[in-house]
């Protein structure tokens, strides 16, 4: 009896002492069926331009084109977005329904949901086929690492890899375009997936 009380007491003490150890909730509910090398295993949390919460496993199903950009970017990002739009223009209507474009902010501090939405409107990116999202610094760094994207703050600018990535329907990285050009290879990668 005494022992039981003691156990209970130590449980209580523990509860108080351990503070906030977050339960490891996960997107596991929907990530169970993912292949081992799916990037959607990354348990990162995102917020999109409509202030909606996004978990990566929910991106399953469509071929995803992913690029890391930020709205204050003057040099490289507009070029990356224009390239993605060129890809979109090359898709047939049927293909376009099976492809989705995801932009990830490298500047979550300044890219608020309304900022991301305004950027999409400025560049005429429709919210049916495109999304723009941000996460906290840790999560942004994690996803960038999984995509082999390197970036760092340099004064007002963020120096970053100029990369377009193609993921298959289950989140496997099937193609990366590094540097300029290379849109034909991106198209080939997309069409190979859609034929599967």
Beta-strand relationship, 163-167 and 63-69: antiparallel
C-alpha to C-alpha distance for 116 and 7, rounded to whole angstroms: 52
137 binds other proteins (CB under 8 A): yes
Options 93, 128, 138, 156; binder of other proteins; rule CB under 8 A: 138
At 141, list the tokens: 């760094």
d(CA 71, CA 81): 11
Selected from 117, 118, 146, 183, the binder of other proteins by CB under 8 A is 146
Which candidate, 71, 106, 75, 101, places its Cα nearest to that of 89? 101
Residue 61 Rama label (left phi>0; alpha psi -120 to 50; beta): left
Which residue, 22 or 74, has its beta carbon nearer to other proteins? Answer: 22
- Judged by CB under 8 A, the stretch of 18-26, 62-70, 78-86, 122-130 that binds other proteins is 18-26
Which residues here bind other proteins, judged by CB under 8 A? 3-4, 6-7, 10-11, 13-14, 17-24, 26, 28, 36-37, 39, 41-43, 45, 47, 51-53, 108-109, 134-138, 141-142, 144-146, 150-154, 159-162, 179
């Amino acid at each position: 009896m005494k022992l039981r009380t003691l156990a209970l007491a130590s449980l209580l003490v523990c509860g108080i002492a351990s503070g906030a150890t977050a339960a490891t909730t996960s997107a596991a509910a929907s990530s169970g069926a993912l292949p081992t090398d799916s990037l959607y295993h990354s348990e990162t949390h995102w917020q999109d331009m409509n202030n909606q919460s996004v978990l990566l496993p929910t991106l399953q199903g469509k071929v995803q084109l992913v690029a890391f950009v930020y709205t204050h970017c003057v040099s490289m990002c507009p070029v990356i977005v224009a390239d993605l739009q060129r890809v979109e223009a090359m898709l047939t209507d049927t293909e376009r329904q099976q492809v989705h474009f995801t932009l990830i902010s490298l500047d979550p501090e300044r890219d608020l949901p309304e900022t991301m939405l305004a950027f999409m409107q400025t560049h005429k990116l429709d919210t049916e086929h495109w999304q723009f999202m941000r996460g906290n610094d840790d999560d942004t760094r994690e996803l960038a690492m999984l995509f082999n994207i390197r970036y760092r703050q340099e004064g007002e600018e963020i120096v970053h890899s100029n990369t377009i990535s193609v993921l298959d329907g289950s989140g496997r990285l099937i193609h990366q375009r590094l540097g300029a050009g290379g849109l034909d290879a991106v198209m080939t990668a997309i069409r190979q997936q859609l034929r599967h």
